[in-house]
């Protein structure tokens, strides 16, 4: 294996360990799309879930049954109408719906057994009928009232995986056909789960299908990578005319869950191998995440960060876009440095050296290559400019050999070496021949938004 691959692998392992520590003992509720259950990789999905369970994560599974219900109703020649995505369940259909719901739950229990894991199917969801809406009688289709979370917690504490079929019972024991997406969302809220997963049979929320709030993070494959609660709310508002679009329904459930105590909701394609693991154990993830808690943060560098910061600078130093730095130098100028962290791990750095009340220098800007093209450099730059403003500097300058385009896109203007402060002019290395770029903080007009994202 070559050095680069080895380094990447070490980085991946380090990152995974950070998340293992973070999620040990946490509760994850996982809704599995019904079509996945027939997918050739499905046994691997359950294997991965069993792995998470054995690692100390408390897992709850909600299997979707839509496809199985369709098959069983067809086999027994029972017809049910679907209105706005909800199946109208006649009393005659309910035994077949139960058959399908328990059949998929059983399948999961069997696969868990193959992985040396105990699953238990239960009647822990209370429901009532939807009733009559706009003249339509929904009959035995129900909505969830509550989940008996005390019992579910006891089951989890016993080291078992609770499996929820998509059936809810009234206080008198009448069964209702309920939505497994809504069920999973309710369970996650009542258990105050750290995560709710919608393991789907599509690749996440595609950006070009919807109207998006500004600055939403989209992957190179066109999938929305993440949205905080405010962005998710904005997206729901912008696409309110598509209320019954099934992906918007997921965003709506995710948004609600995040406002009711769930930290993160992930919509992930379950068809690819190891997707759930990639989503959980990497900071970049592999699907669409709606999140309520802190994800990324810029803060001053501390002594303990120096090793990691040097590590992030290394590739740029090697390709000569950054000057070499030592731990002692970083230590001496500690208060100049800031770090960009994601889930507590450092992925970027930068420094602001104040030379005089007029001039400050942005330096040592570097971003972990695994996090490239996510706007981290731009966020660090904004932060450093803000720091310069707070220090009442009039101008910020930067010396660059490799990134003139990036700086001019960010609003910097090329300038002469003569514009540098005296001390810097003296140090200027003619052989290196860096370009000088400046950014004026003087006029209001300059305070417009940075254009590099
Ligand atoms: N691994 C982290 C988590 O599970 C972050 C996932 C980020 N995912 C994303 N689609 N942007 O919380």
C-alpha span between 142 and 182 (Å, rounded): 11
Ligand 1: residue of 199, 279, 280, 286 to mutate (most ligand atoms within 8 A of CB) is 279
104 phi/psi in degrees, rounded to 5 = -70, -35
Distance 248 CA to ligand 1 centre (A): 20
Distance 342 CA to ligand 1 centre (A): 10
Q: What's the whole-number mean pLDDT along residues 199-208?
A: 94
pLDDT of residue 374: 83
pLDDT of residue 453: 43
pLDDT digits (tens, 9 = 90+) for 392-434: 999 999 999 989 999 999 999 999 999 999 989 998 998 889 9
pLDDT of residue 243: 79
Q: Are strands 132-133 and 175-177 parallel, antiparallel or unpaired?
A: unpaired
Closest Cα to atom 7 of ligand 1 = 285
Is residue 161 very low, low, confident or very high in pLDDT (cuts 50, 70, 90)? very high
Is residue 443 very low, low, confident or very high in pLDDT (cuts 50, 70, 90)? low
pLDDT of residue 218: 92
pLDDT of residue 442: 79
- Is 365 within 8 Å of 380 (Cβ atoms)? yes
Length of the chain: 453
Distance 106 CA to ligand 1 centre (A): 30
The per-residue pLDDT of the chain, averaged, comes to: 93
321 phi/psi in degrees, rounded to 5 = -90, -15
Distance 191 CA to ligand 1 centre (A): 20
pLDDT digits (tens, 9 = 90+) for 320-344: 889 999 999 999 999 999 999 999 9
- Concatenate the DSSP letters of all residues of 371-413 into one string: GTTSSHHHHHHHHHHHHHHHTT-SEEEEEESS-HHHHHHTT-E
Instruction: Please state, as a whole number, how many other Cβ atoms lie within 10 Å of the Cβ of residue 254.
Output: 30
Distance 242 CA to ligand 1 centre (A): 26
Closest Cα to atom 9 of ligand 1 = 285
For residue 368, what are the contacts with CB-CB under 8 A and spacing of at least 6? 11, 312, 346, 347, 348
Distance 287 CA to ligand 1 centre (A): 8
- Concatenate the DSSP letters of all residues of 245-280 into one string: -HHHHHHHHHHHHHHTT--EEEEEESSSTTHHHHHH
Is residue 372 very low, low, confident or very high in pLDDT (cuts 50, 70, 90)? confident
- Is 373 within 8 Å of 362 (Cβ atoms)? no
Q: How many H-runs (helices) and E-runs (strands) does the chain carry?
A: 14, 24
Closest Cα to atom 3 of ligand 1 = 280
Distance 298 CA to ligand 1 centre (A): 18
Closest Cα to atom 1 of ligand 1 = 280
Is residue 445 very low, low, confident or very high in pLDDT (cuts 50, 70, 90)? very low
Q: Where are the beta strands (DSSP E) in 47-194?
A: 58-63, 82-83, 86-87, 119-121, 125-129, 132-133, 136-137, 142-147, 161-163, 167-169, 175-177
For residue 444, is pLDDT > 50? yes
Ligand 1: residue of 48, 289, 290 to mutate (most ligand atoms within 8 A of CB) is 289
pLDDT of residue 371: 83
Total-model pTM: 0.89
Which residues have any ligand 1 atom within 6 Å of their CB?
Answer: 19, 225-226, 264, 279-280, 282-283, 285, 287-289, 343
275 phi/psi in degrees, rounded to 5 = -60, -40
pLDDT digits (tens, 9 = 90+) for 265-286: 999 999 988 999 999 999 999 9
Name the residue among 231, 251, 255 with its Cα closest to residue 242. 251
Residue spans of alpha helices (H) in 24-132: 42-54, 66-75, 94-114
Name which of 24-28, 349-353, 367-371 the model is least confident about: 367-371
Distance 283 CA to ligand 1 centre (A): 5
Name which of 82-86, 138-142, 161-165 the model is least confident about: 82-86
Closest Cα to atom 6 of ligand 1 = 285
Distance 281 CA to ligand 1 centre (A): 8
pLDDT of residue 447: 52
355 phi/psi in degrees, rounded to 5 = -90, -35
Distance 46 CA to ligand 1 centre (A): 20
Ligand 1: residue of 26, 205, 266 to mutate (most ligand atoms within 8 A of CB) is 266
Ligand 1: residue of 219, 232, 283 to mutate (most ligand atoms within 8 A of CB) is 283
Give the Å distances, CA to CA, from 177 to 143, 183, 427: 8, 11, 75
pLDDT of residue 255: 98
For residue 368, is pLDDT > 80? yes
Q: What's the whole-number mean pLDDT along residues 239-263?
A: 95
Distance 185 CA to ligand 1 centre (A): 18
- Is 72 within 8 Å of 65 (Cβ atoms)? no
- Looking from the CA of residue 263, the nearest atom of ligand 1 is 12
pLDDT digits (tens, 9 = 90+) for 304-323: 999 999 999 999 999 888 99
C-alpha span between 312 and 346 (Å, rounded): 8
Closest Cα to atom 5 of ligand 1 = 283
- Looking from the CA of residue 288, the nearest atom of ligand 1 is 10
pLDDT of residue 320: 87
Strand partners, 228: 291
Which residue is it, tokens 């029972």?
78
């Amino acid at each position: 294996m070559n050095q680069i691959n080895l380094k990447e692998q070490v980085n991946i392992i380090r990152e995974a360990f950070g998340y293992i520590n973070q999620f040990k003992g946490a509760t994850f509720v996982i809704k599995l799309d019904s079509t996945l259950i027939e997918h050739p990789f499905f046994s691997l999905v359950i294997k991965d879930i069993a792995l998470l369970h054995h690692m100390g994560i408390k897992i709850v599974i909600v299997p979707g049954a839509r496809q199985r219900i369709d098959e069983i109703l067809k086999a027994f020649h029972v017809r049910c109408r679907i209105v706005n995505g909800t199946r109208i369940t006649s009393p005659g259909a309910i035994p077949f719906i139960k058959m399908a719901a328990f059949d998929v739950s059983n399948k999961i229990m069997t696969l868990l057994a193959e992985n040396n894991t105990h699953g238990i199917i239960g009647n822990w969801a209370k429901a009532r009928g939807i009733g009559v809406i706009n003249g339509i009688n929904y009959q035995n289709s129900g909505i969830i009232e509550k989940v008996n979370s005390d019992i579910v917690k006891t089951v989890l504490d016993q080291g078992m995986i609770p499996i929820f079929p998509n059936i809810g019972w009234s206080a008198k024991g009448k069964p209702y056909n309920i939505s497994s997406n809504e069920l999973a969302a309710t369970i996650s809220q009542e258990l105050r789960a750290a995560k709710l997963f919608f393991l789907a049979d599509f690749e996440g929320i595609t950006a070009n299908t919807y109207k998006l709030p500004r600055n939403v993070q989209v992957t190179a494959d066109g999938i929305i990578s993440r949205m905080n609660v405010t962005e998710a709310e904005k997206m729901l508002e912008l696409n309110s005319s598509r209320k019954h679009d099934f992906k918007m329904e997921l965003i709506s459930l995710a948004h609600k869950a995040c406002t009711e105590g769930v930290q993160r909701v992930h919509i992930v394609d379950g068809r690819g191998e190891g997707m759930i693991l990639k989503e959980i154990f990497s900071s970049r993830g592999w699907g669409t995440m709606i999140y309520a808690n802190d994800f990324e943060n810029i803060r001053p560098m501390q002594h303990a960060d120096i090793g990691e910061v040097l590590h992030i600078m290394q590739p740029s130093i090697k390709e000569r876009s950054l000057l070499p730095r030592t731990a002692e130098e970083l230590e001496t100028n500690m208060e100049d440095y800031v770090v960009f962290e994601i889930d507590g791990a450092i992925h970027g750095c930068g420094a602001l050296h104040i030379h005089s009340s007029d001039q400050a220098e942005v330096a040592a800007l570097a971003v972990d290559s695994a996090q490239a093209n996510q706007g981290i450099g731009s966020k660090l730059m904004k932060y450093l400019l803000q720091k310069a403003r707070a220090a009442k500097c009039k101008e910020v300058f930067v010396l660059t050999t490799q990134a003139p385009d990036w700086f001019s896109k960010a609003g910097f203007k090329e300038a002469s070496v003569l514009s540098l402060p005296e001390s810097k002019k003296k140090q200027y290395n003619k052989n290196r021949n860096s370009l000088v770029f400046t950014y004026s903080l003087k006029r209001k007009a300059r305070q417009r938004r940075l254009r590099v994202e």
